[in-house]
Amino acid sequence: MMKTIFKTIILGIAVFALSTAAAQDTATNIKRVKKEQPTIALGAEITQDTVGKKHHRGLKQHLIIPKGEWQLGAQLSHVSLASDNSEFMLLINGLNANASITKIAPFFAYSYHNNRSIGMRLQYTSASGCINSAELDLLGNLNKNIEDEVSANLTSLQASVYHRSYLGLDNKGRIGVFADLALSYANRKNAFKFDNSASNQYARTHQVKLSLHPGIVVFAMNNISTHLSMGIGGVSYNHTELKDGGKVIGTRDYSQAKFKLDIMDISVGLSIHL
């Protein structure tokens, strides 16, 4: 009887020791699996699920922006026009005019998925135009001389939230194209002057816009990229108030949908990837 009890105790201790060792090995393997991080291979092809889809254009999706990446940067744009180098003023003689527009837009973004990111952009715009003198001759039937100075100035502050989708084009993760879908709010002030006369009248516009901006991105270094984007229009709602000395003397509300290449909305940007 004592031998049976003793054998049972020894067998129980052995089983307990073996189960403890197995549990420790399993926990060690789980820890090793948790410590192992997947290797990010820029330019690697991302498989696409095409089951049940009628059309597939055969584009290969390469990784160019990995999940979890932060982007900081800015976009710059400057356009300057003058009457002496313009080819579009064929009906105006003796024109002395110039115009310029400058845009500065810092931004940041976070990549929530491979080749997908969401970000925020702030944009400041300053534009001015001036006509000092001009002589309009429309096919000999209409003649009009402008001798006094006419000028216009625009300042705008815009905030936008955008979603960007990338398409990597090479297996090195260096070149890709993207498309931005942006929802923005802009506050603009337009002032118009004639003959250098002092005027307190100006127009204040509030705009809400949903727009599309495609572009191309190139990585000059591993963590630095440059990109070129262009606006091709969108849908907007505008509320404009005409003010004189701070007092509202007129209002206008309108909406528009316009889709075409906007040469005044082409920007070059630089991004730092963290």
Cα–chain-centroid distance for residue 191?
A: 28
Q: Note whether 178 and 212 are within 8 A (CB).
A: no
d(CA 253, CA 239) in angstroms, rounded, equals 5
Give the distance from CA 56 to its chain's centroid. 27
The DSSP bridge partners found for residue 154 are 127, 190
The amino acid at residue 207 is Q
Predicted TM-score (pTM) of the model is: 0.70
pLDDT value, residue 153: 85
Residue 92 C-alpha from the chain's centroid: 38
Mean pLDDT score, 22-37: 54
For 58-273, CATH number? 2.40.160.20
Q: How far is CA 107 from CA 16, 71, 104, 118, 208, in A?
A: 60, 8, 10, 11, 19
d(Cα 187, Cα 209) in Å, to the nearest integer?
Answer: 12
Residue 106 contacts residue 122 (beta carbons within 8 Å):
yes
Q: Which segments of 114-149 are extended strands (E)?
A: 116-138, 142-146
Degrees, nearest 5: CA angle 123-126-130: 160
Q: Which two tokens stand for residue 135?
A: 């002589």
Do residues 235 and 30 touch, judged by C-beta distance below 8 A? no
pLDDT reading at 107 higher than 90: yes
Residue range 204-247, pLDDT digits in tens: 899 999 999 999 999 988 899 999 998 888 999 999 988 887 78
- Grade residue 76 by pLDDT with cuts at 50, 70 and 90: confident
